[in-house]
Amino acid sequence: MTSPVIIEAAVSPFRAGAPVDDSFGVIGDAVASIEAGASIVHHHHDARLERDEAVAALIDVSRAILDVHPDAVLYPGILSGRNGAEHMAHLSPMAEAGVLGLAPVDPGAAVPYDLDDTGLPSGHGYVWNSFSTSKRVAASMLEYGIGLTIGVYEPVQLRWALAYEAAGELPVGSMVKLYFGGGRSLFRPGHPAINFGLPPTPQALDMYLAMMKASGSDGSAMSWSVGVMGDSLLDLPLARYALERGGHLRVGVEDLGVVDATSNVETVERAAALAAEVGRRVATPSEVRSLLAGPFAARKSGCRET
């Protein structure tokens, strides 16, 4: 496998008690991560802001990053809110401002639990968007011509993506991110947890890839990446195996579940070095859109062009 590797950097901590995201810090981390080899950057905003302020801040931050690296592919986290429509209210304004590279969709529910002092599950967090909200996002991104970045925390979310692909309702250039559950909490850094989904092993990845291969008569045309929530992907055999199977990598401080001196740049540099070890070069930002769209065009799948 010699195709270029897309490295995504998730640069913002998204955990209770973590520092509030500072716009200048996000911009600096994003620019430095791109210069280290990332071509996709996922970032959050100051969650204390009201909705209009948050949308404006996300647009301003994205513009500042794109001023330095205009070909980079950027996408945000969700907004605060009580329902899916409020969580996703920033996507259309960002698309209209020309700063939305991919649209995040996490269709369905994933519920991670922390472990208490006795080792038993305690409390919970949510990763969730209803299928109806996800349908509205998919439909609007078809109109904008912007691909989806689909979070797969549980197998049902991959089934959602494959169903939309089979129905021709995915924008060309959409990709799935196969998230595996690590051993640490994203909400209480350093504490053990029972996270969602499958364990971060080559065998678990094989299951997902088998689902994609079995989809339709020719299999899925979507590109895919791997990430681990609550552990370091790059310290696990899964990272090398994914590269050997033709996948891409999501790294960055958001997913680690620890508070230490690790920087976003360090995770990107390690990912790039691992790619080189398996004989794959790192994709440049200017290549990403064509790399994501290429399988759709080559397959001449039923996904609608925009």
Q: What is the mean pLDDT of residues 176-189?
A: 90
Of all helices (H) and strands (E), which one includes residue 301?
none
For 137-156, the pLDDT digits (tens) are 999 999 999 999 999 999 99
The residues, any chain, with a CB within 8 Å of residue 136's CB and separated by 6 or more, are 84, 85, 88
Q: Report whether pLDDT(306) > 80.
A: no
pLDDT at position 282 over 80 = yes
Name the pTM for this structure: 0.93
- Cβ atoms of 174 and 163 within 8 Å: the answer is no
Of the candidates 8, 47, 45, the one whose C-alpha atom is nearest the C-alpha of residue 27 is 45
β-pairing, 40-43 vs 73-76, is parallel
Q: Which residues contact 9 (CB under 8 A, 6 or more apart)?
A: 29, 30, 33, 34, 38, 40, 41, 42, 250, 251, 252, 264, 267, 268
Percentage of the residues of the chain whose pLDDT score is greater than 70: 94
For position 214, what pLDDT does the model report? 94
Rounded CA-CA distance 151/225 in Å is 10
Arithmetic mean of pLDDT over the chain: 91
Question: 227-253: per-residue pLDDT in tens?
Answer: 999 999 999 999 999 999 999 999 999
Measure Cα distances from 27 to 30, 47, 59, 64 in Å: 5, 16, 12, 7
How far is the C-alpha of 28 from the C-alpha of 18, rounded, in Å?
18
Q: For the domain with range 7-299, which CATH number is right: 3.40.50.1980, 3.20.20.70, 3.30.530.20, 3.20.20.140?
A: 3.20.20.70
Q: Where are the beta strands (DSSP E) in 230-277?
A: 248-251
